Amino acid sequence: MKNSLIFISILASIAFFSFSKPRKPVLDLEGLKNATKVGFSYIPPGKTIIDNDTIACEGFFMSKMEVSNFNYQEYLDDLKKAGKMDEYKLALVDSAKWNSTYFQGDKYVQHYFNHKAYKNYPVVNLTRQQAEKYCEWLTQVWRKYTQNPSLVFRLPKRTEFLRAANGTSLYRPYAWDFPYLRSQKGKMMANFLRIDGGAITRDTVTGKFRIAINDFDFLGNEAEYADVTAPVQSYLPNEFGVYNLNGNVSEMVQEKNIAVGGDWYSPGYDIRNQSTKKFTEANPMVGFRPVMTFTESSKGEKGSKSSK
């Protein structure tokens, strides 16, 4: 699937299927399910568990894929075209952060965000504030095309991420319906740090052992090569049609100072649905994906705790 067509197709579809009376922002659920099937999945209401609390979660739409370099470049191009140069400068990716990893990341500094070969890879090296600004821009774009002022794009709550990842089970360790990192056919289910004998090498300069993370292959839809991150539409989607909820990049949520789901730099145990990691500044391991909801004036989205 070409990301260059995703948002255009979705916008056109929503305009056709939904909101025939733009002055009355009413949730046309069935219409939106059809309209967003290209790039967003409907996650039905359900429950999640955090810290032994069972929490109810309203239905919402989640991007099937992490925001890609191409998607984010569209945002930058739009800011530049509109002459919003101050906002453009604040939105720029901090590619120098690739050098914060233990291996030398010069080639990623130069090419990862800018080269067309990486356009369908997840955008990284952004702050939480930059991701929120992207969501605000996306909200403005969709409201313009749908003529519906109730649409809101934002970072997911952790409960929403878990609802999407857990599927029909409250206790599923990963987004797929079995407790292992390989399928019965031997396919790896996610992009993560595989620490085993075959991944350990001795540094020729320091003489110390290290993990050769950039030498890994991954087995996905087409068994492509992943040098750190993998493309946003890799491996198998979960039952809701969402890709890479475990591994690849940890994902920002509304809760501050954490990212969830693990990433290419995380060992297998740390890419579980419940996994969190500290996130306070831009880095090459963290990306994001938006969810779509509605303003409370048209669709309430208040969660509530049930008894334990």
pLDDT for 104 equals: 62
pLDDT for 144 equals: 86
**Scanning the structure block, which residue is given the tokens 């750190």?**
228
pLDDT for 37 equals: 57
Residue 305 in contact with residue 53, Cβ under 8 Å?
yes
Rounded Cα gap, residues 262 and 245, in angstroms: 8
pLDDT for 90 equals: 98
Rounded Cα gap, residues 20 and 37, in angstroms: 19
**Scanning the structure block, which residue is given the tokens 């475990």?**
246
Per-residue pLDDT of the chain (308 residues; tens, 9 = 90+): 444 444 444 443 443 333 333 333 334 555 555 555 568 999 999 999 998 899 999 999 999 999 999 999 999 999 999 999 999 999 999 999 998 875 667 889 999 999 999 999 999 999 999 999 999 999 999 888 878 888 899 999 999 999 999 998 888 999 998 999 998 888 889 999 876 544 455 666 776 665 554 433 333 333 334 679 999 999 999 999 999 999 999 999 999 999 999 999 999 999 999 999 999 999 999 999 999 998 854 444 344 444 33
Rounded Cα gap, residues 105 and 94, in angstroms: 13
Contacts of 189 (CB under 8 A, 6+ apart): 174, 176, 180, 181, 182, 183, 235, 236, 246
Strand-pair partners of 154: 291
pLDDT for 184 equals: 83
* pTM as predicted: 0.80
Rounded Cα gap, residues 57 and 18, in angstroms: 24
Closest CA to 148 of 301, 33, 7, 294: 294
pLDDT for 168 equals: 87
What residue spans define the domains of the chain? 3-294
Residue 267: DSSP 8-state: B
pLDDT for 296 equals: 59
pLDDT for 26 equals: 35
The total number of residues written for the chain in this structure: 308
pLDDT for 229 equals: 94
pLDDT for 187 equals: 86
> Under the phi-then-psi rule, with left for phi > 0, alpha for psi from -120 to 50, and beta for the rest, what region is 168?
alpha
Q: Tens digits of per-residue pLDDT, 43-87? A: 999 999 998 899 999 999 999 999 999 999 999 999 999 999 999
Rounded Cα gap, residues 67 and 39, in angstroms: 11
Domain 3-294 sits in CATH 3.40.50.970? no
Residue 225: DSSP 8-state: B
Closest CA to 223 of 260, 179, 186: 186
